[in-house]
Amino acid sequence: MPAFGAADPRIIIIGLAPGLHGANRTGRPFTGDYAGELLYRTLHEAGLATRPESVSADDGLELRQARIVNSVKCVPPGNKPLPDEIRTCNAYLKAELTSLKGARVVLALGRVAHDAFLMASGLKRSLFPFGHGSEHRLDETRFLIDSYHCSRYNTSTKVLTEAMFTKVVARACELAGIRR
């Protein structure tokens, strides 16, 4: 699944993997599935997306100053990537991250994305513990911010609320120097 968004983003959003009935069907990350509804609406409200909804890869939606990548490139069995799949796909994530030198903030959607980013960056997990809303300074100008994944399960169980997600995205914009 190819990445989607600005070629030289200020914010990189790392998701889990393409959803079977969403991105795998439509060809765009978080498009056509429940998680994308909250993600794109929130990105639009923050000024990072030109539309609040993504229904197909050719719907005209564009991302501004943001790019979405996935930890795993293909649909995993049971929608949960196995450790071997994460390790195998990590070279792709590393290459994508290496090419995006101007990014100031990485927003990891879930622990899998958080850990995949650390692996791709050669950073120790013990120094960067995952937690919703956690901010980790990577160097003088770059940050890693964690969020629970915007999945239907997390939002229906209130592990993640819309307000919690909006706050994390707003903070990512602030740290990236993006003004609305």
pLDDT tens per residue across span 114-148: 999 999 999 999 999 999 999 999 999 999 999 99
Q: Does residue 75 register a pLDDT over 80?
A: no
Position 25 pLDDT exceeds 90: no
In the chain, the percentage of residues whose pLDDT exceeds 70 is 91
Q: Which residues is 68 bridged to in the sheet?
A: 4, 13
- 78 Cα distance to chain centroid: 20
- Which pLDDT band holds residue 11 (cuts at 50, 70, 90)? very high
CA separation, residue 95 to residues 29, 129, 159 (Å): 18, 23, 32
Question: Domains in the chain and their CATH numbers?
Answer: 4-176 (3.40.470.10)
- Structure token pair of residue 45: 């409200």
Residues 6 or more apart in contact with residue 61 via CB below 8 angstroms: 40, 49, 50, 51, 53, 54
Cβ contact 138:99 at 8 Å: no
pLDDT at 56 over 90: no
Q: How far apart are CA 8 and CA 29, in angstroms?
A: 18
Residue 39 has pLDDT above 80, yes or no: yes
pLDDT-based confidence at 31, cuts 50/70/90?
confident
Query: Quick one: tokens of 72?
Result: 């795993």
Rounded to an integer, what distance in angstroms lies between the CA atom of residue 139 and that of residue 68?
22
Which residue is listed with tokens 């983003």? 9
More confident residue, 27 or 167: 167
User: What would the mean pLDDT of 80-86 be, rounded to a whole number?
Assistant: 84
Q: Note the pTM of the prediction, 2 decimals.
A: 0.94
